[in-house]
Amino acid sequence: YVIKDGIYSFKYALSVIQRVINNKTIKVLVVDDSKSFLETIKKLLQRYRLTVFTAKNGKEALDVMNEHQDIKLLLTDYYMPLIDGLELVRVLRKKYNKDELSIIVTSGSKDKKTASKFLKYGANDFLYKGFTQEELFVRISANLELLELFEQLRKKANTDYLTNLYNRRYFFEQGKKILEFSKINNKICAVVLIDIDNFKIINDEYGHDIGDIAIKEVSIVLNRFLYNNELVARLGGEEFSILFYNCEEKETLDKLELIREEFEKNVIDLGTINIKFTVSIGCSFNNSNGSIEAMLQEADKNLYKAKDSGRNQIRY
């Protein structure tokens, strides 16, 4: 299979690939039973700083995919020994959606039905062999661009606009999975609610924009204190949630106490004014028999107790 250079410049396609890659490692798997085809494609893709893996057939490809879960793009041949391209696409599509893995099929097949067959099985794109370099790169860039858009969309859907923390949706979705996993592995989890005390006063006294700065400050402090084994989100308003997984009760409470003290000490210097506030914290510890909803409910009850007993404290 000779890959001829395109007559047209493929500047655009290359610029898209460069932009999408932009210092990220994009992993591509090329699957073909022709060694020379693999080598040619590999060299081409490497020139554009894609990280290239190769496999000689579908079976090998599945092994490589298992080993490197973050492969974003698969280029596969049709006819190969052991597991052919069609079966490979079928198996992979059960595991990876189109927003996670792009599949481009290249085949020397002369059958006009081959392309539609692959597309029906979930391939993103199809190229009859004999394609030009330009065609290959245009298709690759289009598919990478789409993956990037999905990624941006996913990020927006899961992120709180004001603080850049995760949002409520992500907290529930991910929290459910984490609790299920923890239950199976018998790990202790904690669900924690943190709420700014008398936040209304800040809003009323200084205005909504300053209120927003206070909310952002909470995220800054939480990011400073929490950086592994926790899922941190803004549930809404001035209320934040943390899911600690695989934690120790004492250790978690100590950490929360540090956070509570930090707010107590913290002064936000805004030049003309200084802002101070405290937080109340409600926790629910569980060896994960509870659902995320049940644990949040208990944390909320404890938060209410903390508020009721004078604020600026932790209840569990």
Binding site for ligand GH3 (CB under 6 A): 195-200, 203, 208, 211-212, 215, 237-238, 307, 311
Q: Is 195 in the site for Mg ion (CB under 5 A)?
A: yes
Q: Is 134 in the site for Mg ion (CB under 5 A)?
A: no
Which residues are catalytically annotated? 238
As measured in angstroms, the least distance from the Cβ of 161 to ligand GH3 is 9
CB closer to ligand GH3, 80 vs 215 = 215
Q: Site residues for Mg ion, window 73-92 (CB under 5 A)?
A: 77, 79
Residue 145 binding partner per list Mg ion, ligand GH3, none, with a CB distance cut-off of 5 to 8 Å that depends on partner kind: none
Q: Is 60 in the site for Mg ion (CB under 5 A)?
A: no
Residue 208 binding partner per list Mg ion, ligand GH3, none, with a CB distance cut-off of 5 to 8 Å that depends on partner kind: ligand GH3
CB closer to ligand GH3, 149 vs 273 = 273
CB closer to Mg ion, 38 vs 179 = 38
Q: Site residues for Mg ion, window 18-47 (CB under 5 A)?
A: 33
Contacts of 131 (CB under 8 A, 6+ apart): 3, 106
